Amino acid sequence: MKLISYLHGGASHWGCVIGDGVVDLGRRLPACACVAALLEGGDAALAQARQAAEGAAPDHALADVRFQTPIARPRRVFCVGVNYAHRNAEYKDGSDLPKYPSIFMRVAESFVGHGEPLQQPLESTQLDYEGEIAIVIGQRARRVQADDALACIAGITCMNEGTVRDWTHHAKFNVTQGKNWNASGAIGPWIVTADEFPQGYGALRVRTHVNGELRQDDSSANLMFGFACLVNYLSTFTTLAPGDIIATGTPIGAGIRFDPPKFLRPGDVVEIEVSGVGVLRNVVKAEEVAP
Model confidence pLDDT, tens digit, residues 70-106: 999 999 999 999 999 875 566 556 667 889 999 999 9
Mean pLDDT throughout 190-207? 94
Compute φ and ψ for 79, nearest 5 degrees: -120, 140
Distance in angstroms (rounded) separating the CA atoms of residues 161 and 150: 23
Model confidence pLDDT, tens digit, residues 216-270: 999 999 999 999 999 999 999 999 999 999 999 999 999 999 999 999 999 999 9
Distance in angstroms (rounded) separating the CA atoms of residues 154 and 150: 9
Distance in angstroms (rounded) separating the CA atoms of residues 163 and 104: 13
Mean pLDDT throughout 178-182? 97
In this predicted model, which residue has the larger pLDDT, 291 or 64? 64
Distance in angstroms (rounded) separating the CA atoms of residues 211 and 35: 32
Q: Which residues pair with 280 in a beta bridge?
A: 272
Q: Is the pLDDT of residue 111 over 80?
A: yes
Specify the amino acid at residue 155: G
